[in-house]
Structure 1
């Protein structure tokens, strides 16, 4: 099986697995909300400009909250009757909006290089900027310590340049340097890093890995996991406390973007049940800054999907178990790899190549993995990037879903990057909703068009408008750490479809309306993660909201990525403050 953006990466398992495993396998929900009582009088009255996210009543001037639930919203005169002498009135500095929903991101696979220097195309617009950024990091790193970079993607720079050993030696002559490719299939190293790892020109390539060579020396490029593991053999491993701190940092960054609920889209992919146990332990010690819904990964080392399902059950992890802050909701299967890494599964070859990637399963194996989740009543999430992967997964679901009756568990396909009209129509018929990684358009749209797939196939990327026309309820996600958690930027891209590389528009026919894009990061995304009590501000829903400096429902979508979040609230209590 390949390592895609939604798969467990062996480097992560090797280097953070031991620390995560110390959490054990006991699941103990904290149930912070158990003591909250919804009364007839509001504990808190929020007064100001309130964008509800509810099309039937888009604006309000007051919102009454009791027991973490909205008990009244509308005109101030209509809500004041829900207050008494004990009510606290607050007037936020900004616009109140529903808490945003991040329906697909990754906590565990983001921990390995969380603190490494970001040299992504988003931060470094040119290859020279990558070099300069790494030089700055080296200048503040003590001699002998590692200089570390992440998310370098040569496909986004002209000529697809590599970070060679010679370049990295010049950047940091007194430090070992390691830079991770965004695909996590390649690593770049300098001479000091090779020396620490005990790797030289005569070192044999391990099976499945490559130390690239030229002109009698190592180039500095290391390909695939077996060789990358050798380079990280001496790399310091984190502690359990480091892991907890890293998770907290990731969740705080989500809250900083106005996110109040997220879906962790591959829980158990590294060390199994311990990952979920750790989340509950952290939440028990202190309420997490964001609600976490988990998708249980269908693969564990040495086990069949059916055995994995039994492992989750044995730990008491069943559909919708947990509490209001950490809840197990879905079953995750990965059908193919990464399109920009040329491992997504396509019906036609990549440009300049003779293959179109590959599937991670045989058709029979995929059906078995899906059935293992369906048999236990899980919502299914299937990672599908290439058009052939979408077709393969659709055929499997169309065949086996009728055997499970009419129970609508809101099954999902993730990324669904390249689809035909037929695919979208069949998704709607099967009650399978898509979740799109819109940053594929923003960051990689030009690369798909020019060097990876060609202009014709690039038109089929992230078809949000067509999904709506087919009667689907799409959401938008970041796939963090493939791209940053920033729902309003994703919504902006869904509306504009403007490429970062050249400012051009990729298939204007697929531009969503502003209302559609905002629904995809609020009500649709909440519905997809079975969080019907969130996503908009209405009576009976949770008081999960953010305070921002501009109302996205009335402002220009081109400015959405610049909106600043001042505060984020869960159950009406502060979770983040700028």
Structure 2
């Protein structure tokens, strides 16, 4: 998967589900602040430089907040009449901006590797840096203890080098070493890790998995979920307290980037309804650092079909827009294809140097059935579509199924990585909007251009400008933990489309304007989450905002990725402070 989008590997379910499920399935929304009613005077007056994100009134001097809602915004004199003796006055050291929206990230799957050593291309720009990071991690752990690392991606290094068994034996031969590929479709193991999992040169590959061998000897490269599951079967399981800590740690890292709302993009893959129950329990104990919208996965353990999964969600009381303002169930998630960089995204034409263009995860008929299962219950559809053939298959199904269904659900195609002009126009006509992973351009753009897709298709990657021209309202996302949550970096890439690898611009015709890019991480993203009361600072909106050192609306987009976040607020109450 490019992308954590896809079925979680079974091992992550085996490791994490017991701890999550131990919290039970009782869903009790905390309803923070909902008991408050607006008073005669504002609770909070924010005074300073305010960038509203609203084109009709882009700046303000003061903002009055009552019961978590903005009741006045404009000049200081315009809002002072809304205050009283009990009003708290906040004068932030920085610029107040709307809380940013992360419309597609993965909390549960990311818990699996939360504390593992980061060997991503960002952390390790050269392959030698990967090896050095693993050696350093070995020096910090005791002999015999697992050395675990994550986010390795050979496609980002010259020659696509693998972490072989022999190389990892040289890194640390006195303990098991396992490194997960960024896609989670592949893992790399040393001899001790293979032995711990009971995998020998004679072990047959499981159905659907690969145990790579050369001349009958295991190389240490393990592919696809069934084989990765075998490799990781003996990892220790976390306690419920560790899972709770991990959830808060992940969400706090989002808040540290100015995010006040996010979409958990594949809920239920590990522990079903217990995942939502745990979110509500954590929020009840102490308000979460970020509002969480959940996308219920269409494939649940123990459910034979998506229709069975839909019935299970409904029976548990998880219905469209159930929950509260902090944790709310909103969407129905399907995964149409795989990963472009892993060459399993589904394309109309073959990958460079290959005979096929990947594959779909469904037939056209079964995809329609899975979509219909969500539509029948009134869910917003959220469909992972990486390749242009996957977009076409999902779009044809949407064009058939959506007419006559509940209007206004703002259905979404996730990633929509490579599209045609015709597909974008038809998406607009069908009522489907795209959410783009802009880090595909930043980090993988050169690889797509040079070794995976070729220049013509690579220039059609993440077409923000064309989406706007087609009348769509695109958003931008991180697909965490495939990449880190940094919405302003994503917006920067949407404007510049400059590749990390060589500084060139990929598809200059797709460069968005600064206003379009910022809307894609604020108002558009909020709209896709059915959160119309967020994304800009205006009368009646929720007082969700961040304090930053530079105003992105009036600064050079080239510097947006360096903007520091000092604080975030939800309903005018601190959620994060640096």
Aligned to 1:58: 58
Equivalent residue of 1:404, what SS?
coil
Distance in 2 between residues matched to 1:210 and 1:378, nearest whole Å: 36
Distance in 2 between residues matched to 1:228 and 1:266, nearest whole Å: 20
Equivalent residue of 1:102, what SS?
strand
Equivalent residue of 2:525, what SS?
helix
Equivalent residue of 2:382, what SS?
strand
* Contact persistence 1:381–1:414 (CA under 8 A): yes
Aligned to 2:465: 465
* Contact persistence 2:4–2:482 (CA under 8 A): no
CA drift at 1:165? 1.6
Equivalent residue of 2:417, what SS?
coil
* Contact persistence 2:2–2:339 (CA under 8 A): no
Structure 1 residues 397-446: Cα deviation after superposition (integer angstroms, max 9, x where no partner)? 101111316x2111111111111100010011111111111011011111
Alignment of 1:500-515 (within 5 A): 500-515=500-515
* Contact persistence 2:2–2:340 (CA under 8 A): no
CA drift at 1:9? 2.4
* Contact persistence 2:4–2:109 (CA under 8 A): no
Distance in 2 between residues matched to 1:394 and 1:213, nearest whole Å: 40
Aligned to 2:7: 7
Alignment of 1:114-133 (within 5 A): 114-133=114-133
The reply on whether 1:371 has 2:357 as its aligned counterpart is no
CA drift at 1:33? 1.8
Aligned to 1:76: 76
* Contact persistence 2:4–2:481 (CA under 8 A): no
Aligned to 1:42: 42
Equivalent residue of 1:322, what SS?
coil
Aligned to 2:533: 533
Distance 1:195 1:52, change over 3 A: same
Structure 1 residues 260-313: Cα deviation after superposition (integer angstroms, max 9, x where no partner)? 000111111222111111111111111100000011111113321111111111
Distance in 2 between residues matched to 1:410 and 1:211, nearest whole Å: 42
Distance in 1 between residues matched to 2:295 and 2:198, nearest whole Å: 39
CA drift at 1:17? 1.7
Distance in 2 between residues matched to 1:134 and 1:266, nearest whole Å: 30
Distance in 1 between residues matched to 2:372 and 2:214, nearest whole Å: 48
Distance in 2 between residues matched to 1:2 and 1:428, nearest whole Å: 25
Aligned to 1:524: 524
CA drift at 1:453? 0.7
* Contact persistence 1:5–1:482 (CA under 8 A): no
Aligned to 2:361: 360
Equivalent residue of 1:65, what SS?
strand
Equivalent residue of 1:321, what SS?
coil
CA drift at 1:24? 2.1
CA drift at 1:2? 12
Equivalent residue of 1:33, what SS?
coil
CA drift at 1:211? 2.6
Aligned to 2:199: 199
Distance in 2 between residues matched to 1:207 and 1:398, nearest whole Å: 35
* Contact persistence 1:464–1:510 (CA under 8 A): yes
Structure 1 residues 237-267: Cα deviation after superposition (integer angstroms, max 9, x where no partner)? 1121111111111100000000000011111
Equivalent residue of 2:56, what SS?
coil
Distance in 2 between residues matched to 1:205 and 1:433, nearest whole Å: 40
* Contact persistence 1:4–1:336 (CA under 8 A): no
Equivalent residue of 1:263, what SS?
strand
Aligned to 1:231: 231
Distance in 1 between residues matched to 2:5 and 2:308, nearest whole Å: 24
Q: Which segment drifts farther, 134-143 or 188-197?
A: 188-197
Alignment of 1:432-471 (within 5 A): 432-471=432-471
Aligned to 1:304: 305
Aligned to 1:422: 422
Alignment of 1:543-554 (within 5 A): 543-554=543-554
Distance in 2 between residues matched to 1:264 and 1:38, nearest whole Å: 30
Aligned to 2:240: 240
Structure 1 residues 368-416: Cα deviation after superposition (integer angstroms, max 9, x where no partner)? 11111111111111111100010011100101111316x2111111111
The reply on whether 1:481 has 2:481 as its aligned counterpart is yes
Distance in 2 between residues matched to 1:226 and 1:486, nearest whole Å: 32
CA drift at 1:10? 1.9
Q: Which segment drifts farther, 482-491 or 141-150?
A: 141-150
* Contact persistence 2:10–2:226 (CA under 8 A): no
Q: Which runs of 5+ in 1 are unaligned?
A: none
Equivalent residue of 1:569, what SS?
strand
* Contact persistence 2:2–2:482 (CA under 8 A): no
CA drift at 1:16? 1.1
CA drift at 1:3? 9.3
Equivalent residue of 1:38, what SS?
coil
* Contact persistence 2:189–2:220 (CA under 8 A): yes
Instruction: Provide the aligned length of Structure 1 versus Structure 2.
Output: 577
Distance in 1 between residues matched to 2:351 and 2:4, nearest whole Å: 17
CA drift at 1:548? 0.5
Equivalent residue of 2:124, what SS?
coil
Alignment of 1:309-328 (within 5 A): 309-328=310-329
* Contact persistence 2:9–2:228 (CA under 8 A): no
CA drift at 1:317? 1.1
Distance 1:141 1:39, change over 3 A: same
Distance in 2 between residues matched to 1:176 and 1:318, nearest whole Å: 44
CA drift at 1:12? 1.4
Distance 1:293 1:33, change over 3 A: same
Aligned to 1:398: 399
The reply on whether 1:27 has 2:32 as its aligned counterpart is no
CA drift at 1:5? 2.6
Q: Which segment drifts farther, 88-97 or 268-277?
A: 268-277
Q: Which segment drifts farther, 519-528 or 267-276?
A: 267-276
Q: Which segment drifts farther, 235-244 or 546-555?
A: 235-244
Q: TM-score scaled to structure 1, two decimals?
A: 0.98
Equivalent residue of 1:212, what SS?
strand
CA drift at 1:215? 5.0
CA drift at 1:523? 0.4
Distance in 2 between residues matched to 1:6 and 1:225, nearest whole Å: 11
Aligned to 1:253: 253
Distance in 1 between residues matched to 2:275 and 2:240, nearest whole Å: 11
Distance in 1 between residues matched to 2:245 and 2:2, nearest whole Å: 30
Alignment of 1:169-180 (within 5 A): 169-180=169-180
